[in-house]
Structure 1
Amino acid sequence: MQKTILYIVILVSMLSSCKKFLEETPRTTQNSVDFFQNENDFKLAVNGTYAALRDIYGSNTAWVMGEMRSDNTHYDYKPSDAALAVTQKNDVANFLNDEFSGQTSDKWVKAYVVISRANAILDQVDGATFSPDSKRIIAGQAKFLRSLAYFELVRYYGGVPVYLHLINNPNDIYIKRSTVEQVYEVIIADAKDAIEKLDAPAFPQTGVATKGAALTLLADVYINLKRFPEAEPLLKQVTQQGYDLMSNYADVFNPVNKNNKESIFEIQYNAGLATPQASNFIYKFIPRMSNSTGITGLNQNTITDLGGFNTPTQDLINSFETGDNRLNASIAIAEGTWNSSNDFVPASNTAGASVKSIVGYTPPAGKIGRPFPRKFLHTHSLAGQTNNNWPVYRYAEVLLLLAEALNEQNKGAEALPLLNRIRDRAFGAGVSPIATTDQAALRSIILHERRVELAFENKRWIDLVRTGNMVSVMTAYGVATKALFSYLPANSYKVTDDSKLFPIPYTERELNKLLEQNKGY
């Protein structure tokens, strides 16, 4: 809780930094007005806003809330470890989280950091004295990033306080939650403005937001709002932006192919810089072990580094059809044993030797196979510092979103080629096409296709909520999971309609008494 309070104090200070509250700014400090002097200052500020996205999409809170909350992933249970960070992650998966959870409050806090930084740029860029074309691009990126942050907030928490400028008066921080509809109005307006301001993608891409990313974001917003006729033309426009599918599914996630032709927007990491800005997702997702060399090729103690999370469920594994090449590209097996401390001992400490293919896997006598997300396992030079980016939007998802938008308008025949294009890559051209145009059947097929195509990309929970399947799917999954794992408490998986939103963080409500809590917490 102390860590969460510290984050909020930092956030309040950032929101309050636009203008001085005393007659003279202390000479030892620098506010945002002082900072923005030239074009380079604004570019640095935009880069800082991009960097803050890592705390929303690539951090623990992202996959805990987006995947472990769903039927896609679970966790390795270690009864002797009752550390707060561990139990709070587990509680999210078990539907036992509350308003005190740092695992669900971090997304709120970090999203407002992005918003604050975007506001600082937008408040001042119009009055800056450099190239109008450069100002257009900078403003477009800030609008895209602010729209993305509010979209993340509204889907996980519902209505939230809306700030469109940096705060001039500290009392202006304490405002009520806007309605969901009002938040979406801001998201849509920002995304539309970003579309107008940003340029079309140029290949090879650099990782910055483009018109294609903004179009995809706005279309995704409309899909979430079930405004399918408005999403369709936007998605069709994205298909004219020069994107394409990579021929091999596994290549999409390889760091050597960063920002590839399938990438529409991804969170940037770089392990090669003098001051590394590295990712470490895979070390969180492999089992807890004292030496990770047999899995990652480098020695990292993931017992103390808190591995053992985002473990693929058997439910997810079973959802892959026979012959789907995405199974082997998405999930691998760590082969070994569990010791008396419930930590994993790999079968071999030779680099990578304990990684096995999941396809047709049967553990040898005396060994077990523990699945993990292979998508994020790639060669790297330093333990705990990988070069993987985090995908936010891929062209494959655009095709699936467009198929969904068409099907929901009774245009199933138009949706099929898009859906089967994704499946052709997964199975081989013409191997396993979908032929039905029945709307209900195709709706279910598209949701399933999203599950296996976008596994571990933090899409599953949102998909279950927005399609109205969350309560039924997660109730059934909870029954099966509690039958499988005796350690789950009796009150776990009490799934109701209120469960679709996470609680407003306790520390936020202590600071701002105008914030009302979501139902069920």
Structure 2
Amino acid sequence: MKIQYIKYALLTTVFALGSCSDDYLETIPTNQTSPENVFKTTETIAMAINGLAKIMTTQHIGQGYNGEGTIKLYFGEYPGNNFRKDVSASIANLENIENTNSSLNAYPWHYYYMLITNANEIIAKVDGADGPANDKKYLKAQALAYRSFAYTMLVQIYGNRWIDSNNGETKSVVLRLSPSDSKELPLSPLKDVYTQIYKDLDLAIQLFNESAYKRDATKNYFIDASVAHAIYARAALNRQDYTVALKEAGLAKKDYPLMSTTAYKAGFANPTSEWIWSSYGAADEQLHYFSYGAYMGYNSNAGAVRNTPSRISKEFFETLSDSDIRKGLFIDPTGYPVADYNEDTGLTVTKSQFNKDIRAKYPDIQGDAKTAAYMQVKVKNNVNPGVMHLNHFRSSEMFLIEAEALHFLGRDGESAKVLEALTKGSGRDVNYTCTKVGKDLFNEIVKYRGIELWGEGFDWFDYKRWNLTIEKKMGSQGGNASPTFAKTFTPEMNNKWTWRIPKAESDYNPNI
């Protein structure tokens, strides 16, 4: 095993442990090299790029924070509209948005600026490294893509939704673009951050094309031009720049056909034909009980799964067609007496027929794990407690971006056809047709984005972007939220769902 050098953001330089699976994340032993030597050759810079990939699946600032997986669950799903999990009211109920001392408040800032600071070092120094010119181009392109991805995620959390930003004039995050930048930088207007994201991605795509870089088909964790286009599409959608979003989504998905229904039901643990970018996962590259899979995989032996299974909201589930295979990825209580399960938590009675039938159908559920109505069986682990590849972009998301962009560009007929291509054309629901227009079509996009991307980290981000109310109801109200979580969040609440800048940054940076 080797020790990976990583220059961390903000206050300090530290070293992160990294093991090796074949050539995955080949790292630099810190007892054999200086920080200057990291950027000496294209070979060592390639190792630094791998370090960026490793940051996305590494534990940061404390237990339970697991790179990108934490963003997906703590920020994207737990506080969202369609996800139910009876853990941490402070997370699910948005209690820390304005608490600048909270570790939850600080985590995305720390994590994404860690990516940005490391990417900045590579961008600044790769041109001066020894090695082939083409290698320098695609390594720089990857670093630019990482930086643009990090800023895209940061502004969704710490920036206003675009419609609340006075056309991008409101302040958002700090634009750190060079290792030589002063620490004392002010917050930048939201529009300036998006301008930089676009600029980075334009250059990254240019460099990928000039270098003719082709990612090894088995290495989905590397970034190529398709990934850059996917980041571009997501950023443009958040900025309500629908023409750009439509164009970039089409470019991102063109080499990633939608997966088969068999692959769709296989557990979302391994790259399929439609995975554009993911993080690597193997038994010797894992975070054990603090990984995304240890919180989500229905077959996990982790306490976070055994005690509190993840569920879909009852209200949302009941809107889905019985012919849609995605509805079948959740435990349907239809036909079982209410006495067999708790209407709020969904938890089944141990000796009930409902519990027995769930276990018979899914024998890989741990013997001491609780089962529940509306429990998800979409995501499962390859190896316990949480080993799996972690998806970041799928071509399905690109279809949905196209549908939304077309709708807001006034092209509802084309938008409906995209929804049909995603749902009927892929076999996900062979009976699906769409003839809706206007507000009805928008609601259809909301619905199908909700079921297609459920559990993958989009829910809260989408509701914030759409300026829609999140409403969670108890069983007595027709829902399945536990009383602690049965709350309504309107778009103007909690600083308009805009996280405050962490105290760790304002203490460090006098211009905040």
Normalising to structure 1: TM-score of the pair? 0.75
From 231, 246, 264, the equivalent of 1:232 is 246
Structure 1 residue 124 displacement after superposition: 0.5
Are 2:474 and 2:486, in contact at CA under 8 Å, matched by a contact in 1? no
1:268 is aligned to 280
AA in 1 matched with 2:510: K
1:45 aligns with 2:45: no
Contact 2:72 2:458 in 1 (8 A): no
Distance change >3 Å, CA 103–CA 346, structure 1 → 2: farther
Query: Are residues 1:70 and 2:80 paired?
Result: yes
Task: Give distance in 2, aligned partners of 1:504 and 1:478.
Answer: 36
Q: Say whether the 8 Å CA contact 1:49–1:114 is kept in structure 2.
A: yes
> Match of 2:375, SS?
strand
User: Alpha carbons of 1:48 and 1:372: their partners in 2 closer, same or farther (altered >3 Å)?
Assistant: farther
Whether the aligned pair in 1 keeps the contact of 2:312 and 2:375 (CA below 8 Å) is yes
Q: How far apart, CA to CA, are the structure 2 residues paired with 1:483 and 1:276?
A: 33
Deviation at 1:217? 1.3
Whether 1:213 and 2:213 are equivalent positions in the alignment is: no
Q: Who is 1:96 aligned against?
A: 95
SS in 2 for 1:391: strand
Paired letter, 2:74: V
For 1:480 and 1:345, how far apart are their aligned partners in 2?
A: 21
Structure 1 contact 157–504 (Cα < 8 Å) conserved = yes
Once the two structures are overlaid, the 10-residue window that deviates more, 153-162 or 313-322, is 313-322
CA-CA distance at 1:204 after TM superposition: 3.0
Partners of 1:9 and 1:231 lie apart in 2 by 32
Aligned partner of residue 144 in structure 2, secondary structure:
helix
The match for 2:168 is none
Match of 1:283 in 2: 294
- Stretches of structure 1 that go unaligned for 5 or more consecutive residues are 1-6, 16-26, 78-88, 287-294, 359-366, 516-521
- The amino acid that maps onto 2:509 is N
Amino acid corresponding to residue 512 of structure 1 in structure 2: N
CA deviation profile, 1:77-104 (whole Å, cap 9, x unmatched): 6xxxxxxxxxxx4212113222232223
Deviation at 1:146, TM superposition (A): 0.5
- Residue by residue, what CA displacement relative to the aligned partner does 1:221-266 show, whole Å, maximum 9, x if unpaired? 1111111122222233334x4220111165376467x333201111
Q: Is the 8 A contact 1:412 1:439 kept in 2?
A: yes
The structure in which a higher percent of residues are helix is 1
Contact 1:408/1:439 (<8 A) preserved: no
Counterpart among 31, 35, 38 of residue 32 in structure 1: 35
Relative distance call for 1:325 and 1:201 in structure 2 (3 A) is farther
Amino acid at match of 2:190: V
1:190: which partner in 2? 200
Over aligned residues, Cα RMSD in angstroms? 3.9
Q: What one-letter code is carried by the residue in structure 2 that aligns with 1:176?
A: P
The 1:281–1:345 alpha-carbon spacing in structure 2 relative to 1, beyond 3 Å, is: farther
Shift in alpha-carbon separation, 1:345–1:128, aligned structure 2, 3 A = farther
Q: Tell whether the 8 Å contact from 1:200 to 1:212 is kept in structure 2 after alignment.
A: no
What is the CA-CA distance between 1:474 and the residue it aligns to?
A: 3.9
Give the 3 Å change call, closer, same or farther, for CA 427–29 of structure 1 in structure 2. closer
Which amino acid is the alignment partner of residue 261 of structure 1? Answer: S
Alpha-carbon distance in structure 2 between the residues aligned to 1:406 and 1:41: 44
Residues 315, 479 of structure 2: 8 Å contact kept = no
**1:383-406 CA-partner distances (Å, limit 9, x unpaired):** 3142x2222111111111112212
Deviation at 1:75, TM superposition (A): 2.7
| SS in structure 1 at match of 2:456 | coil
Q: Distance in 1 between matches of 2:38 and 2:311?
A: 44
Tell me the number of residue pairs that the alignment of Structure 1 and Structure 2 aligns: 447
How far does the alpha carbon of each residue in 1:120-140 deviate from its partner, in whole angstroms, 9 at most, with x for none?
111110111210111111001
Opposite residue 227 of structure 2, the aligned amino acid is: A
State the one-letter code of the partner of 1:137: Y
Equivalences for 1:354-393 in 2 at 5 Å? 355=359, 369-380=372-383, 383-386=384-387, 388-393=388-393
Partner Cα distance (1:40, 1:310) in 2:
42
Query: 1:337 touches 1:346 (CA, 8 Å); kept in 2?
Result: no
Match of residue 505, structure 1, among 490, 502, 506: 502
Runs of at least 5 residues in structure 2 that lack an aligned partner in the other structure: 1-5, 15-29, 59-65, 160-171, 363-369
Structure 2 residue 260 is matched with structure 1 residue 247:
yes
Q: Give CA deviations for 1:154-200 in whole Å, capped at 9, x if unaligned.
A: 111011111111147xxx22321111111111111111111112257
Aligned partners of 2:255, 2:486: CA distance in 1, in Å? 51
CA contact (8 A) 1:269 1:277 kept: no
Aligned equivalents of 1:475, 1:368: Cα separation in 2: 21
Q: Is the CA contact (8 Å cut-off) linking 2:9 and 2:117 kept in structure 1?
A: no
